[in-house]
Amino acid sequence: MLPCTRRTAASSTIAVLAGIIDELTGKLHERVKENGLSHPSVLALSQELDTYIVQYQILLGEKKRAARSGR
């Protein structure tokens, strides 16, 4: 088992976020099919998905910067 370093923790978090994003994307597609693009529940889910995507992008950027700096 790998020791839990900052890098492995970040990778785990990125993987978890990717799974959440994938799941919410599927739910969003279904909700759009059922209710249309402008339904309040579609907009709310889209905003929730956006939050996870931003978190994912931030962590991925931090991981890339850390890799470049040799950490």
Q: Is 2 within the bounds of a domain?
A: no
CATH number (domain holding residue 17) = 4.10.280
- Tell me, yes or no, whether 29 lies in a domain: yes
Residue 47 lies in a domain: yes
**Is 3 contained in some domain?**
no
Structural domain harbouring 60: 13-66
Task: Indicate the pTM of the whole model.
Answer: 0.82
Which of 13, 20, 19 has the alpha carbon at shortest distance from 62? 13
Q: Write down the pLDDT at residue 2.
A: 42
List, for residues 31-69, the tens digit of each pLDDT value.
999 999 999 999 999 999 999 999 999 999 999 998 888
Please report the pLDDT score of residue 5 as a whole number: 55
Contact call for residues 18 and 55 (beta carbons, < 8 A): no
Q: How many separate domains does the chain show?
A: 1
Secondary structure class of 65 (helix, strand, coil): helix
pLDDT band at 1 (very low <50, low <70, confident <90, very high): very low
Q: Is residue 4 part of a domain?
A: no
